[in-house]
């Protein structure tokens, strides 16, 4: 689906920093939109940069993102690079007066995330984070059922993203704590946290109790050695995390993520929700376009369960279309400042602090109330 139109609004000129899978999702989406021009690409990989430039008809090609920003002539920058680069590139682009769409997680820590949000507020520009899993068709169908009152008030959930042997690359930036900020909890878990809280209606997280384990990656198990992006450090992050979140109003969520664990092969993610009038279960195996979604209703042992047939959804394309809508919504830029992603970062930080301390961590209210909106 394209959002072609004849509104004759000035074309928004876009640069993408990052040439990997995520960056290419951004490129594809921008290239499909009317009133949007993909005009610049930046990335360290010379062959990929040249090939992508030819594929998308882009002639402004840079190794260094700073040159892409400094040359000007842009309205938007997409940031799709390793996590440790999210904050410096985003802040630099915002300070140059550009709107920014950044890949998840927003940053390695809430401190970095706060700096990004502050930069968006100071510049008066849009900052959003690409939480593409909430734009899956099955999650949107489950959200619609919850909002319609089908299962009553959700009060507990268990959300997962588990892999058997899916450490992204042993010895790469992914497994270096300083560069990545953590392991599967910050990599996969931020998606799980996002879609779970989204489905629950965005309650505040009041406290977390977390445990992390590093049993396989430290022994060279659970993933291939990095062929590229080798940084030469030991395995420094967790390979499994389990978290209990306490929510305002008395609700609760369990989140479990793993890069490597002795379980069925492949990837599995999803969520089970218990509500006052029913329940729901969504399971997605090996990135299936549509998962198995069941809504449980009925009285006592009388089952009125329904298997819901959902559309595949449009992932990054939907995220980017919404982002473009927000950039064009000039009167409400202050509402789109990355605050929601900052709150996700605060929760992830608290989880790692809880695991390190071996105790529950209470989250204090944010010092600056954000206006950020995601949808």
**Residue 366: pLDDT over 80:** no
- Kindly report the pTM of this predicted structure: 0.93
Averaged over 346-371, what is the pLDDT?
Answer: 86
Averaged over 332-340, what is the pLDDT?
Answer: 97
Return d(Cα 238, Cα 258) in angstroms, integer: 8
Q: How many CB atoms lie within 10 A of CB 275?
A: 21
Domains of the chain and any CATH numbers: 12-133+316-335 (3.40.50.720), 137-312 (3.30.360.10)
Closest CA to 154 of 210, 208, 198, 193: 198
**Eight-class DSSP state of 171:** T
Per cent of the chain over pLDDT 90 is: 90
Residue 335 main-chain phi, psi, to 5 deg: -80, -15
Q: Which residues pair with 61 in a beta bridge?
A: 41
Residue-wise DSSP of 90-159: HHHHHHTT-EEEEESSS-SSHHHHHHHHHHHHHHT--EEEE-GGGGBHHHHHHHHHHHTTTT-SEEEEEE
Element (H, E) at 294: strand 292-296
**Residue 3: pLDDT over 50:** no
Residue 86 main-chain phi, psi, to 5 deg: -60, -50
Averaged over 262-275, what is the pLDDT?
Answer: 97
Averaged over 342-355, what is the pLDDT?
Answer: 98
E-state strands within 165-290: 205-213, 240-247, 252-258, 267-275, 279-285
**Residue 13: pLDDT over 50:** yes
**Distance from the first to the final alpha carbon of the chain:** 18
**Residue 353 banded pLDDT, cuts 50, 70, 90:** very high
R_g of the chain, CA atoms, integer Å: 21
């Amino acid at each position: 689906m394209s959002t072609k139109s004849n509104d004759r609004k000035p074309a928004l000129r876009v640069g993408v920093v990052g040439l990997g899978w995520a960056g290419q999702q951004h490129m594809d989406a921008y290239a499909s939109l009317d009133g949007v021009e993909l005009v610049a690409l930046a990335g360290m990989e010379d062959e990929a940069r040249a090939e992508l430039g030819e594929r998308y008809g882009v002639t402004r090609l840079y190794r260094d993102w700073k040159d892409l920003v400094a040359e000007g002539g842009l309205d938007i920058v997409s940031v799709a690079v390793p996590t440790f680069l999210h904050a410096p590139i985003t802040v630099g682009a915002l300070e140059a007066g550009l709107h920014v769409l950044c890949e998840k997680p927003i940053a390695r820590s809430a401190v970095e995330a706060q700096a990004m949000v502050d930069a968006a507020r100071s510049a008066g520009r849009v900052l959003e984070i690409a939480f593409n899993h909430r734009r899956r068709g099955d999650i949107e169908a489950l959200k619609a059922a919850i909002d319609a009152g089908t299962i009553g008030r959700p009060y507990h959930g268990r959300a997962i993203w588990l892999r058997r042997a899916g450490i992204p690359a042993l010895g790469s930036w992914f497994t270096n704590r300083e560069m990545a900020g953590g392991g599967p909890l910050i990599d996969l878990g931020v998606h799980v946290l996002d879609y779970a809280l989204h489905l629950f209606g965005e309650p505040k997280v009041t406290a977390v109790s977390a445990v992390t384990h590093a049993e396989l990656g430290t022994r060279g198990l659970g993933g291939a050695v990095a062929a590229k992006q080798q940084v030469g450090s030991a395995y420094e992050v967790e390979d499994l995390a389990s978290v209990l979140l306490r929510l305002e109003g008395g609700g609760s969520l369990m989140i479990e993520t793993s890069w490597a664990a002795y379980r069925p092969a492949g990837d599995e993610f999803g969520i089970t929700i218990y509500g006052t009038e029913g329940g729901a279960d969504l399971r997605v195996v090996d990135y299936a376009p549509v998962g198995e979604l069941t809504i449980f209703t009925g009285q006592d042992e009388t089952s009125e369960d329904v298997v819901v047939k959902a559309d595949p959804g449009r992932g990054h394309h939907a995220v980017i279309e919404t982002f473009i809508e927000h950039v064009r919504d000039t009167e409400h830029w202050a509402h789109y400042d990355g605050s929601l992603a900052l709150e996700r970062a605060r929760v992830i930080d608290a989880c790692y602090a809880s695991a390190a301390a071996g105790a529950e961590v209470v989250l204090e209210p944010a010092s600056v109330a954000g206006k950020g909106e995601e949808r």
